[in-house]
Amino acid sequence: MTRRYKKITFLTGQSRPGGRAAWAMLLGCCALLASMLSVARAQKAPEASEEGKRVYEKSCAHCHGIEGRGDGSAAENLLPRPRDFTRGLYKIRSTEAGQLPTDQDLFDILTEGMPGSSMPGWETALSANERWEVVAYIKTFHEGFKENEAPRQIDLSGKIAYSEQSVETGKALYTELGCVECHGNVGRGDGTSAPTLTDEWGFRTWPANLAQGWNFRGGGDTEDIFKRFIGGIAGSPMPAFEGDSFLHFGLASEESKRLTELESKDEMTEAEEEESGKFYEKMDAAVDIALSITEGETLNTEDRQTFDNAMRVVYEKSWHLANYVKSLSPEKRPEPAIGNNVLRAQYVGGELPALGDAAWETLKASYFPVVGQIIVEPRQFNPTLDSINVKSFYNDNEVAFLFTWDDRTHTTALEDEETGKKVLEDALAIQFPVKVPQGPTAPKPYFLWGGRLPVYLWHWKASAPEQVTELTAKGINKAEVQAVQSNIQAKGTYTDGQYNLWVKRALKTDDKKDLQIEPGVFVPIAFSAWDGANGDVDTNRVISSWYTFVLEPVPSSRRFIYPPLVALLSVGALFGLRMFVRRRNS
Amino acid sequence: MKRLSLFTTCLIIFVGCWVFLRFIVGSVISVPIPGSVVAMYMGLILIAILVHISVEDSRFREFLRPLRETLVDDNRRVRRRVVAVLVPLVLLAYTYSIFAQRANPPGNPRDAHPSPPLELTYKDEVIGKMQEVENPFRHYEKDEPEAFKAHVENGRRVYYQNCFYCHGDDLDGQGHFASPLQPLPANFQDPGIIPNFQESFLFWRISKGGPGLPAAGTPWDSAMPIWENMLTKDEIWDVILFLSDYTGYQPRTFGEGH
């Protein structure tokens, strides 16, 4: 019976009538004031009207369906699928587990959209009034909204401010609570169970890459993250933190630590057995109370106290964990590699740094966003890769690149479920024109692996991590392996949900089909990448537009000679002018 | 308050004009004035100032007075030293910034509205002359509203199964695949798009996509697919009906003056 505490079970947001409305009251005046303030901010939707129906059918029904079942004509190709409003399962809420969202929650999602999914923000397309009408209309699809009882909102008043120490505490909890299983060691969504997850409707779903906060569906603020913990993400495998889905629910932090310590022992003494037994009893009691709340029972004072104490621990730990998750992502999505962020290879005097050399840490990576290839069939409508990040060094003879990208799975040979034949694997192709276009209006090759003008490609596959093959292509299905392969050194590694690929080539080669690289010349560059576990193969891939990179010329040493000379001359000129005026005056 | 010297007044007018042209006008009309135009205006202003100060001998002397004082007068020693330090420093910084400037990548000019071929084709089949072909379902709008509605609905399906990834739910060019693309997908809510083109032009751009652009349309960066490979002729005409139905913009027609 003790096993049930160790394993996180996936609550999928079953409806839970009745309540623990008194919870907020116990936190004293402060909490009360805060919740009153938040109520004051939150608006209520108007009564459902024809206007809401009209806007819904014009702007929403193509994905969410005329009857709100999430089965519009666009739905088939989308992952995550558009929400089925008839089930009343909402992922992004400010309310506790098993509760419906507030009107304000629905309004906020309509306004801001869900980053990383196909749900756009409607702030500019629809007026606030129209959005409220849509909220009212969406609510008519689910009976539960007709109950008058307001959903219980998550109390945010106990927020623990961001600090190094809180992040450290959160980091320890991340492992302890089992987040690693799905989200991976450092949070890139590469946990061992990541490839096996499905949502409530049976569709493949991937754990969030916690290092890409700009893709968090409900926003990347600490409060947003905290709400996902307490409320869960209904319909997805992400559990709400309560009852038996939370490690050692019912124990205080120190008790939990002690129990972990006891459980790690190979053999327990009799006294220790007794001690851990007491902990189990305590946890059992707390979980039973949680269950009875789920079943709608009213609690006596003592049980209420026990439950609130248990939840207080959950809230505290969740704030630390939220601070840790927040620390994993940059403040916002990096700017793409154009303008000031263009990829500039830096000159080094001697040998180019190898993979893992500390010198790479001194460069800022250029960010190349990628999208699903939906131009040529078969198409990739639901890409899993976000971007390729690139750094580069060069010396007098060679150039070295470091390509870094996040991929939740390390796939080297996976059988395609549909055909049973093709072997799927992760791969990257770096694309250059064979000849650099001269001048801005000179034609570049077609960005999708060339056309009339050919492109020159470096093709790397996860199954042969130390090999890059040179290709020439005149179209996405017209690539040929070059007969003469230049000497290209490559080394690819996969750690914690991230590929690092190091490639080194001479600036000049003898092969006319190769790109010749010169310092100071801007060269078009583009990418294709494949995530085998997502079914990517051939045209099924992610792609980027053309970008540019340049071997940043070593700044001319004249910059140390001419400017001081000019300054000196100006001093001389001023002095001469003074002499001239003086002479004339006398 | 002491009256400003003629030199200071001229300096203020000159710098003030430059700030006005370079920053203020640009932000009012929301497009900065090109550097060459600013230089031309500044040249005229400089000439005007020179004419003004050289009309009378005494005025010219008055203009030069502060300069002369700064250079030689004993009671202007502080100002002289400041000038002797500032002028070389500014020149040093300016020339260094010119030498240390990094090269910037070439721009991405393109012909957004390339001229279409004379004949409208679907795959290899010739539909007719570009200037004459009309949407075969457009007439239903008046003749058979029910049939027209069915075509628009089919266009809606086609749009949301194929186009909205880039062109957006609201047809505003902000689909969830749009932001990494260069150039950005067309925004059909922009009044400069649909009303400017005949339906035959829209059919041509949709059916041939980026690779079908004429040589003048380089540098070939458009991510628009060749839709005739994936959609039927009727589906393309229907989606054109949907574009104008959703946005409320009517494509250009062959008016009487044509």
Give the start-to-end residue ranges of the domains of chain B.
6-99, 119-247
Asked if residue A300 belongs to a domain, the reply is: yes
Domain holding A355: CATH number? 2.60.40.1190
Q: Are residues A549 and A570 in the same domain?
A: no
The answer on A391 and A343 residing in a single domain is: yes
Kindly indicate the confidence band of residue A25, based on its pLDDT and cuts at 50, 70 and 90: very low
Q: What is the mean pLDDT of residues B10-27?
A: 91
The pLDDT of residue A163 is 97
- Same domain, yes or no, for A247 and A202? yes
- Does CATH place domain B119-247 in 1.10.760? yes
pLDDT at A584: 83
Q: Is the pLDDT of residue A441 over 80?
A: no
Q: How far apart are CA A291 and CA A285, in angstroms?
A: 10
Contacts of A376 in chain B (CB under 8 A): 225, 229
Average pLDDT value for residue range A30-43: 50
The Cα of A202 is separated from the nearest Cα of chain B by a number of Å equal to 22
CB-closest option in A120, A443, A559 to B168: A120
Return the pLDDT at B149. Answer: 95
**Confidence (pLDDT) at A145:** 92
Question: Taking a contact as any Cβ pair under 8 Å apart, which residues of chain A between 92 and 151 contact chain B?
Answer: 117-118, 120, 122, 124-125
Residues A493-522: what's their mean pLDDT? Answer: 96
Average pLDDT for A489-495: 97
Which of residues 167 through 226 in chain A touch B, CB cutoff 8 A?
none
Of the listed ranges A378-387, A472-481, A502-511, B72-81, the one predicted with least confidence: B72-81
Are B160 and A559 within 8 A, CB to CB? no
* Segment A75-102, tens digit of pLDDT: 998 988 999 999 999 999 999 988 999 9
CB atoms A585 and B72 under 8 Å = yes
- Secondary structure letter of residue A434 according to DSSP: S
Q: Which residues of B150-175 are buried (b: 16+ CB within 10 A; e: fewer)?
A: ebbebbbbbbbbbbbbbbbbbbbbbb
Residue B110: band (very low, low, confident or very high) from pLDDT cuts 50, 70, 90: low
pLDDT score recorded for residue A15: 37
- For residue A116, is it left (φ>0), alpha (ψ between -120 and 50) or beta? left
pLDDT in tens, A523-561: 999 999 999 999 999 999 999 999 999 999 987 788 888
Q: Is the pLDDT of residue A182 over 80?
A: yes
ipTM of model: 0.84
B217: confidence class by pLDDT, cuts 50, 70, 90: low
Angle at A144 between CA A141 and CA A149, to 5 degrees: 135
Q: Supply the pLDDT for residue A245.
A: 84
Task: State whether A450 and A567 are in the same domain.
Answer: no
Mean pLDDT of chain A: 89
| A408 plus A532 within the same structural domain | yes
Cα distance between residue A289 and residue A295, in whole Å: 10
Query: Picking from B30-34, B45-49, B59-63, which range would have the lowest pLDDT averaged per residue?
Result: B30-34
Pair (A166, A273) in one structural domain: yes
Asked if A111 contacts A121 with a C-beta cutoff of 8 angstroms, the reply is yes
**Predicted confidence (pLDDT) at residue B12 exceeds the cutoff of 60:** yes
Q: Cα–Cα distances in Å, from A245 out to A108, A218, A229, B122?
A: 28, 21, 11, 59
Is A67 part of any domain? no
pLDDT number for residue A558: 83
- Which domain covers residue A241, as residue numbers? 3-55+153-327
Residue A538 and residue A566 share a domain: no
User: Total domain count for chain A?
Assistant: 3
pTM confidence score: 0.85
Do A568 and A550 fall within a single domain? Answer: no
A352 in the same domain as A315: no
Which of A19-28, A85-94, A249-258, A539-548 has the least mean pLDDT? A19-28
A347 and A467 inside one domain = yes
Last residue of a domain, one of A327, A355, A373: A327
Q: Which of A327, A360, A377 lies at the terminal end of a domain, its last residue? A: A327
For A62, the closest of B105, B109, B160 (CB atoms) is B160
What does the pLDDT average to over B25-39? 83
CA distance A67 to chain B (A): 16
Interface contact B105-A544, CB threshold 8 A: no
Predicted confidence (pLDDT) per residue in B230-244, tens digit: 999 999 999 999 999
CA distance B7 to B5: 5
Per the CB < 8 A criterion, the answer to whether A193 and A129 are in contact is no
The answer to whether residues A216 and A252 belong to one domain is yes
Residues A422 and A544 occupy one common structural domain: yes
